Structure 1
Amino acid sequence: METSLKSWRSDFVARLAQPLFVEALFDHMPDMVFSIKDRAGRYVCISEACADRCGLDHKREAVGRTAHELWPRHMADRYTEQDEQLFRTGQPVLDKLDLTLFNNRKPGWCLSNKTPLLDKAGQLIGLACLSRDLLEPSRAGIVDARMAEAVDRMLARYAEPLRIEALADLAGICTAQFERRMKKIFQLSAGQFLTKTRIDAAARALAETDTAISEIALGCGFCDQSALSKQFRQLTGFTPRDYRQWIRGTQ
């Protein structure tokens, strides 16, 4: 049954005359910016909102150009750094706080996620990015460069024993304020966000490697395999072993 569903879905997608249909969907969402880039960082397509923010008359003007040709340098540098990380590791870039330009051309903050795009041979050929404006937090001063740095720390060093108090210090605010900002932005407490980040990393390792579960647990910031199993089951409904079998279609 599982095999036939996968085959049916693959056949359906292969029959689509407009594989970039998703671009049209986001054209009608002014608070979201959607784009696809190739390995060289050139835009394959962008949504209307992205074209507006870049000062383009039409979104087709972005095709073949790079972030440094369309965005202010300090923004483009960060976007390009993220892209290179994804191309280097093959892993998605999740929950990044980034500077952007709103539709009124004023700077603000957005929450970005990027996913790798593979060709039929399984080779990494590009990425898709979706960024959502954080309008209310930005107006209230909830997001700033130091807050983004603290979130970057959690995303990059989740394997370490991070303390919420130390992250709050990095953000330049007290622990209670840090927790309120995390809740406002991500709808998760700082502890929950850190756990989610670790579980996301563990799920990728389970799906893409044959590393022992005990090693994955330690490499993702859990004290042992039991701690990983408990948290993983709470969030996904699977044990790590069952998830590995399910995602690989061997269960």
Structure 2
Amino acid sequence: MDPKVRGLIQIPLPALEAIFDRTPDTVFFVKDPQGRYLSVNQTLLERVGFRYPHELIGKTPIEVFPASLGAGFAEQDQQVLSGEPLFDQLELHLYASGGAGWCITHKFPLQHETGEVWGMVGISRDLGVPDLSGSVYAEVAKAVQHIQNQYMEPLTLQDLADVAGITVNKLERQIKKIFGIATYQLLLKVRIEQAARLLKTTRDSTAQIALLCGFYDQSAFSKQFKAALGMTPSQYRAHHA
């Protein structure tokens, strides 16, 4: 690593890498103004099939990930490198095994004292398996089932809280505790999964699928779908044709 780059971060990069090397459910990276990797943790290396950092350093997502995901990640990076942080982005990641899983991504631009952006730092945390044990899940099970059965409806937090028989605040706290994401993100996850399934198994138009999955604005549907899966609904359908 270029010592000049190291000096721009108050906490030395090796220390950050060492910490995140011990969090196998979290990807960590630092990128330069061109979106090329400057620093990565072991989890990211394993996810993209590399053994050593030098194999990944200097590459962009387009060179590392499948085309269907790499272009979307690169576009996202450019947004952050323009100075716009990204928080709580629900998206799908691929693992070295070939499988896929949902994660929450945060990216933040790194700036000189002058305000010039010289790079970005980011993490992606796996959602993992929900904790379904204990009485907490029993209280929100009805709301979760309602999401799974009625995702095509214009559901509100109050609707779901009423189904569960608890307050909105309590519903939000418990869903966050169980699933690791906010209630609206859980609903979005279910809707996108259903939309992806319909894109692969039916010939319905994108507009029809958007409505069937609870998206009443087709442009919003396309934007959220691309943010989560790295490609537009039309690209996803063509990729899986």
TM-score (norm 2): 0.52
Q: Secondary structure at the match of 1:33?
A: strand
SS of the residue 1:109 aligns to: strand
Any idea what SS the aligned residue of 1:114 has?
strand
1:95 and 2:88 aligned = yes
Aligned to 2:141: none
List gaps (5 residues or longer) in structure 2: 1-6, 131-146, 164-170, 186-241
For 1:14 and 1:54, how far apart are their aligned partners in 2? 27
Partner of 1:39: 33
* Residue matched to 1:116: 109
Root mean square deviation of aligned Cα? 3.7
Identity %: 30
Q: Secondary structure at the match of 2:129?
A: helix
Aligned twin of 1:132: 125
C-alpha distance 182-57 of structure 1, shift in aligned 2 (>3 A): same
Unaligned runs of 5+ in 1: 1-12, 138-163, 192-251
Change (3 A) 1:14 1:117: closer
CA deviation map 1:11-30 (0-9, x unaligned): xx889793442112101111
Is contact 1:39–1:126 with CA below 8 Å preserved after alignment?
A: yes
Q: How does 1:182-197 map to 2 (within 5 A)?
A: 183=176, 184-190=178-184
Code of the residue aligned with 1:24 in structure 2: it is: A
Residue 42 (structure 2) pairs with residue 48 (structure 1)? yes
Alignment pair present for 1:61 and 2:72: no
Q: Which amino acid aligns with 2:58?
A: G
Between the aligned partners of 1:15 and 1:136, the Cα distance in structure 2 is: 34
C-alpha distance after superposition, 1:128-151 (max 9, x if no partner): 0100011215xxxxxxxxxxxxxx
What is the CA-CA distance between 1:64 and the residue it aligns to? 0.5
Query: Kindly tell me: are residues 117 and 20 of structure 1, through their superposed partners in 2, closer, same or farther at Cα, counting changes over 3 Å?
Result: farther
Q: Distance in 2 between matches of 1:86 and 1:15?
A: 18
Q: Is the 8 A contact 1:182 1:190 kept in 2?
A: no
Q: Structure 2 matches for 1:1-251, cutoff 5 A?
A: 18-88=12-82, 90-102=83-95, 104-136=97-129, 168-169=151-152, 176=160, 183=176, 184-190=178-184
- Give every structure 1 segment of 4 or more consecutive aligned residues whose post-TM-superposition deviation is greater than 6 Å: 13-17, 179-182
Structure 1 residues 67 and 182: CA distance shift in structure 2, 3 A: farther
Q: What are the superposed Cα offsets for residues 173-213 of structure 1, whole Å, 9 maximum, x if unpaired?
A: x9649x8896454454449xxxxxxxxxxxxxxxxxxxxxx
AA aligned to 2:115 is: G
Q: How many residues align?
A: 149
Aligned residue for 1:135, secondary structure, equals coil
Distance 1:17 1:93 in 2: 21
In 1, Cα distance between equivalents of 2:64 and 2:8: 32
* Per-residue deviation, 1:74: 1.9
| Alpha-carbon distance change, 85 to 14 in structure 1, aligned in 2, over 3 angstroms | closer
Contact 1:53 1:105 in 2 (8 A): no
Distance in 1 separating the partners of 2:118 and 2:67: 24
**Residues 48, 96 of structure 2: 8 Å contact kept:** no
Q: Which has the higher contact order (CA 8 A, sep 6+)?
A: 2
Letter in 2 for 1:111: I
Matched with 2:203 is: none
